[in-house]
Amino acid sequence: MASVLGPKSLSVLVVDDDEVDRASVRRALKQIAPTGFQLAEAVDRQSGLALLGREHFDCALIDYRLPDGDARAFLGEMKELDAGRVPIIVLTGLDDQSTALQMLHDGAEDYLIKGTFSGDMLLRSIRYAVERFRIRGELERANGQLERLAFLDPLTQVFNRRGLEHMLPAEVARAGRNSAQLYGVLIDCDDFKSINERFGHAIGDRVLVEIADRIRVSIRQEDHFARIGGDEFLVLLSATGIDEATRIAERVRAAVASENLIESTVAATISLGVFLLPRTVASVTEVLTHSPEAMRNAKQTGKNRVSAAATTPCARRW
């Protein structure tokens, strides 16, 4: 923490087209730490963004009005510069509370009125901006990790039902925009209960992990799949037709059946039902209502099979 907040470690960018104002910032920082800051300067929005894109800074002081845009435009472009994101303090001659609140809402850490702050006040603002930015970054990363974990099946590390539910609206919308079809493939492990009974649940878990791995390498990069139940998986195939969907399903089936699992000690097969989804599908539960016919056919014809459901009126072309 000391290395982050201590003035000797801080690299600061000042973006201001007024040399008098830049000199004022230099003097204020020199008062409190003559050798404590590495200071870089830019005179407009574009040169400031360019510096942030190629160099590391702990904080940036940005003039509210710049020759080629204002601080709001700067903050908006900063959001697209992941590698250059730094805490921003806006400097302005405007003593206006609504403007200050707008800057904070747009992502600035603080808002200082030119000519009213001392070196100590500027240092305190920089320190707090750096610390708030650090804490918020840690919270965002932690929340992102929690969200990722909430969408993953802890055993197989593929999407769980909630994760697929999260992806479904985007896939339906994409298919609609492209006038493409969206197919589902329900996968059920054949006689999985007997694997658990014969080898134990620990081996059964390893079988599920290997099946998930084989599904992953057999589908296309743009496809999504999830473990939705004990030994069931669901694949969403976007922008495809029935022939291609069936070929992909057959590739998955062969990948599982062609070679024993768990160091060639356990034989396992899967049954797959392929079905067309309607353009109005809104949930995984609704997706599954279209799967029974295809899965029933696969099971009744001997398992280790791919079966496609007949197209119904509700599953017309998109």
Active site residues: 231
CB contact set of 34 (below 8 Å; sequence gap of 6+): none
Let me know: does 123 contact 33? Beta carbons within 8 Å. Answer: yes
Q: Give bridge partners of residue 171 from the DSSP assignment.
A: none
Neighbours of 193 (CB within 10 A): 11
* Cα atoms in the 13 Å half-sphere on the side-chain side of 267: 2
CA 202-305-210 angle, to 5 degrees, is: 25
Gyration radius from the chain CA atoms: 29
Let me know: does 37 contact 61? Beta carbons within 8 Å. Answer: no
Q: How far apart are the first and last CA of the chain?
A: 56
Consecutive H or E run containing 62: strand 59-63
What is the C-alpha to C-alpha distance for residues 271 and 295, in angstroms, rounded to an integer?
Answer: 7
